Amino acid sequence: MKRDRWVAVIGLGFVGLPLVQLLVEKGYSVLGIDMDRRKISFLQEGRSYLSDFTDEEMKELMGKGKFIPTEGYEEVGRAEYIIIAVPTPLREKEPDLTAVEAVLHTLHPYLRSGQTVILESSTYPGTTEEMAKRILEKTGLQVGKEIFLGYSPERIEPGNGSFPLEKIPKVISGVTSECLGKVKELYGDLFETIVPVSSPKTAEFVKMLENSQRLVNISFINEINMLAHRLKVDVWEVIEAAKTKPYGFTPYYPSAGAGGHCIPVDPVYLAWSARREGMRLRMIEEASRVNELIPHFVMERAVELLEREGISLEKAKVGAIGITYKKDVNDIRESAALKVIRLLQERGAEVEVYDPLYSEDLPRLPRFPWEGEKIGSFDLILILVDHSRIPWEELIRYGRLIYDTRNVTQRVHAPHVVRG
């Protein structure tokens, strides 16, 4: 029976915690492991640290008595399945699998015959079969016979509640057919649609393709925005008209740049993998370079708007709206908004920020209260992230000069509001 089946989820962030919630809803008992003591404390108290979960949802999850959050691995032996969902960032523009390797090595003393390990962390094609299999077999357990190993790329989009986790088709793979069967047994019970592929390398490539395509398209539209500015054309009007074409056009929208733990990172993993094979992915490499330029473009636009008002950046007071990497999340990893803010500060601007989703203090980043008088005191209001819970009407009413990078002011036609 499910109440007797245990699953361990290692990494309780934007990927791991929703998976825990789904497992508990489906009747499994879950051991959640994370080395961040703060997260464990929050969970034990029934408090949320993720923007996609409310405190009430955390209390409900903990109240079911089927989820044990912990920093230790000692109880991993009871788990039939072990799911790894830890970060895979970049280090000097190369893949950094330190966290994945550390988890695999830490698991060694607790692994037993019959367990299935599933890697969900985004990584370059070949990781599961080249690295994870090698490390696991150092225990003396043979993958495919005594222990089972698979890869299934996460497809969670933080801040987007339109797609319940169980309804998102789940790509799955296994090192052997027996491994795939084990992965299919669990994920076939959790997700409405599973998509088995021929190998972990294929499944890893799926994730790299999905996010590389997004980076290329985001960088493309941001570069188009640069040209539109030069030509004095409203890029938002161009996009709205273009998307009336019923085929062949997919709208993407300008921003301060792609951020987060996936979109600017995964394509670099894929480009690194290509170089390892003696070739280059020039389009992806160029998209990454363009993405790095976008915060500089936004900063220069801010300078241009201030100078038009006779204000030098060195003497300017700027109110920045949003510091997270995207709308409706509380994550600042690879945040383009933060990069813009730091560039403005480096040029001498006095910057204060407002972000209702991110509450932690950051160095040299004072916050301002949401008050009309305070909003009106800034020489420039810079909209970097379009969080749903911000009362934009008040900002438009009190702001003296507004630069909107996210088109939240699309229905406003006023000389003090500039989009693009």
Tell me: the pLDDT tens digits for 352-409? 999 999 988 888 899 999 999 999 999 999 999 999 999 999 999 999 999 999 999 9
210-419 matches 2-198 in CATH topology: yes
The predicted structure's pLDDT at residue 3: 58
Under DSSP, the state recorded for 169 is -
Q: Which residues pair with 220 in a beta bridge?
A: none
pLDDT range class, residue 157, cuts 50, 70, 90: confident
Query: Mean pLDDT across the chain, nearest whole number?
Result: 96
Give the mean model confidence (pLDDT) for residues 261-280: 96
Q: How far apart are CA 226 and CA 220, in angstroms?
A: 10
The percent of residues in the chain predicted with pLDDT above 70, rounded, is 99
Q: How far is CA 398 from the centre of its chain?
A: 32
Q: Which residues pair with 393 in a beta bridge?
A: none
The predicted structure's pLDDT at residue 159: 83
Q: Which residues pair with 382 in a beta bridge?
A: 320, 403
> Which tens digit of pLDDT belongs to each residue from 292-331?
999 999 999 999 999 999 999 999 999 999 999 999 999 9
Looking at domain 210-419, does it have CATH number 3.40.50.720?
yes
Q: How far apart are CA 134 and CA 96, in angstroms?
A: 18
Give the mean model confidence (pLDDT) for residues 154-182: 94
Contact 212, 284 (CB under 8 A): yes
pLDDT range class, residue 4, cuts 50, 70, 90: confident
Q: Is the pLDDT of residue 253 over 60?
A: yes
179 is a catalytic site residue: no
The predicted structure's pLDDT at residue 2: 59
Number of residues in the chain? 420
pLDDT range class, residue 96, cuts 50, 70, 90: very high
**2-198, superfamily in CATH?**
NAD(P)-binding Rossmann-like Domain (3.40.50.720)
Give the mean model confidence (pLDDT) for residues 150-163: 91
Q: How far apart are CA 416 and CA 418, in angstroms?
A: 7
The predicted structure's pLDDT at residue 420: 83
* Range in 79-83, 157-161, 237-241 with the lowest mean pLDDT: 157-161
Give the mean model confidence (pLDDT) for residues 266-291: 97
Q: Where are the domains of the chain?
A: 2-198, 210-419
* Range in 57-61, 155-159, 163-167, 253-257 with the lowest mean pLDDT: 155-159
The contacts of residue 128 (CB under 8 Å, 6+ apart) are 119, 149, 150, 151, 173, 175, 200, 201, 204
Under DSSP, the state recorded for 129 is I
pLDDT range class, residue 414, cuts 50, 70, 90: confident
163 vs 161, residue with greater confidence: 163
Secondary structure element (H or E) that encloses residue 208, with its range:
helix 200-231
Q: How far apart are CA 227 and CA 238, in angstroms?
A: 12
> Which tens digit of pLDDT belongs to each residue from 28-51?
999 999 999 999 999 999 999 998
* Range in 2-16, 67-81, 260-274, 397-411 with the lowest mean pLDDT: 2-16
Q: Which residue among the candidates 30, 111, 262, 316 is catalytic per the annotation?
A: 262
The predicted structure's pLDDT at residue 359: 84
Under DSSP, the state recorded for 121 is S
Q: Is the pLDDT of residue 1 over 60?
A: no
